[in-house]
Amino acid sequence: MDKPINAPSRDRLAELGRLIVKNSNGTDGMHPVAIDGLQCIRVSAPDMELPHVYKPCICVIVQGEKQVLLENEIYRYAPAQFLAVSVDLPLWGQVLVASPEAPYLCLAIDLDMHTIADLVAQSGDAGGSRGETSRGLFVGDLDDLTLEAVLRLARLLDAPHDIAVLAPLALREFHYRLLRGPYGSAIAQMAIAGSNMHKMGQIIRRMRTHYAEPIRVEELASHANMSPSSFHQHFKAVTALSPLQYQKRLRLTEARGLLLAGGMDAASAAYRVGYQSVSQFSREYARLFGAPPMRDVEALRRA
């Protein structure tokens, strides 16, 4: 049974929903706003599963329902819940409940690891063992104080002259509330220098930035100060993928985006994302997305 939402939380969610609608300009999609690191998301109908590389963020759902898939794991979230993503992850996302009258509404807030690390250092609370390694995403329930911090941040969108001064303070409060809430330990582990989660996050950011380059697991393990076997174990604990599988997902997801943007054929996209063989690219693309590159893109455009 879903957790009941109390009346104050319902009121806060309704106000947050109005702000998301207002800053989505009445159109579906992901809408960057005047505060760096925030996006208003609106979808007016259930959609198909779509791959996307999520960066570290908190997605606060206000209306509708959505799920994301990581390998065989399903993470479903609804109003008064949030999806927390701690590292760059290639996920399949699908809006499940939405309509023109009651669109899916979400506020996505980037996580700032420097702010988290500073708050952890200031509080003197490391949030648990440095050795913990957990999955790079989870679904949580919004407590009232965190929801209020989110709403204060969103209200600044109606006060553009206050954003430069107050938005950094509101974002810091939001991170503080996350750390003080029931999921504080999981949030803290993302940014504690020397923790396994922090090591994996640094390696994954490097892989995301240089996804077109060949990788050597031994070299990545050395950067993490781990043996190859230990590195492989921790990497898979965070991402549910091996390093090579993770790189392949990054490459194929990026290639699909390039093809959808237009102006590029399958061979050009393959070489751009690091493949040396177009036939290998086409086989792996079809295995992941269900059809060869150009046929898949044509079907997506028709849909």
Domain harbouring 62, CATH code = 2.60.120.10
pLDDT of residue 302: 83
Query: Is 2 inside a domain boundary?
Result: no
Taking alpha carbons only, the member of 102, 88, 124 closest to residue 17 is 102
Per DSSP, the three-state class of 18 is helix
Q: Which domain holds residue 108?
A: 7-189
Q: Note whether residue 162 is domain-resident.
A: yes
- For residue 130, what pLDDT is reported? 53
Output the CA–CA distances (angstroms, integers) from residue 297 to 257, 282, 286, in the order listed: 9, 13, 11
The Cα 176–Cα 158 span in angstroms is 23
CA 111 – CA 36 distance, rounded (Å): 11
Regarding whether 179 and 76 lie in a shared domain, the answer is yes
Calculate the dihedral angle through the C-alpha atoms of 106, 30, 136, 269, rounding to the nearest 10 degrees.
160
Q: Where are the alpha helices (DSSP H) in the chain?
A: 7-22, 113-123, 144-155, 163-180, 184-189, 196-209, 217-223, 228-239, 243-261, 266-272, 278-289, 293-302
Alpha-carbon distance 28 to 265, whole Å? 28
Q: Is residue 1 part of a domain?
A: no
77 token code pair: 């979230």
CA distance between the termini of the chain? 34
Q: What is residue 125's predicted lDDT score, i.e. its pLDDT?
A: 63
Q: State how far the Cα of 228 lies from the Cα of 218, in Å rounded to an integer.
A: 6
> What confidence tens digit (pLDDT) does each residue in 272-294 have?
999 999 999 999 999 999 999 99
Tokens linked to 284: 């792996």
List % helix, strand, coil for the chain (3-state, nearest 5): 50, 20, 30
Tokens 């049974």 appear where?
Answer: 1
Identify whether 20 is part of a domain: yes
| 176 and 296 part of one domain | no
Do residue 18 and residue 148 come from a single domain? yes
3-state secondary structure of 112: coil
Domain end: 147, 168, 189, which one? Answer: 189
Q: Are residues 14 and 140 in the same domain?
A: yes
The rounded Cα 212 to chain-centroid distance in angstroms is 21
Same domain, 75 and 46: yes
Whether 147 is in a domain gets the answer: yes
Q: Helices 293-302 and 278-289 meet at what angle, rounded to 10? A: 40
Co-location of 178 and 211 in the same domain = no
Both tokens of residue 161?
């002259």
- Please count the structural domains in the chain: 3
> How many C-beta neighbours within 10 Å does residue 101 have?
6
Instruction: Kindly give the parts of the chain with pLDDT less than 50.
Output: 1, 129
State whether 94 and 137 are in the same domain: yes
Q: Which of 223, 297, 212 is nearest to 262 (CA)?
A: 297
- With respect to residue 51, please indicate whether it lies within any of the assigned structural domains: yes
Together in a domain, 181 and 287: no
What is the predicted pLDDT for the residue at 55?
A: 94
Q: Residue type at 17?
A: G
- In terms of domains, do 69 and 202 share one? no
Is 237 among the domain residues? yes
- Please report, for the domain that includes residue 266, its CATH number: 1.10.10.60
Helical H segments across 31-162, by residue range: 113-123, 144-155
d(CA 169, CA 156): 11
Q: Which two tokens mark 39?
A: 């996006």
pTM of the predicted protein model: 0.91
Do 60 and 23 have their domain in common? yes
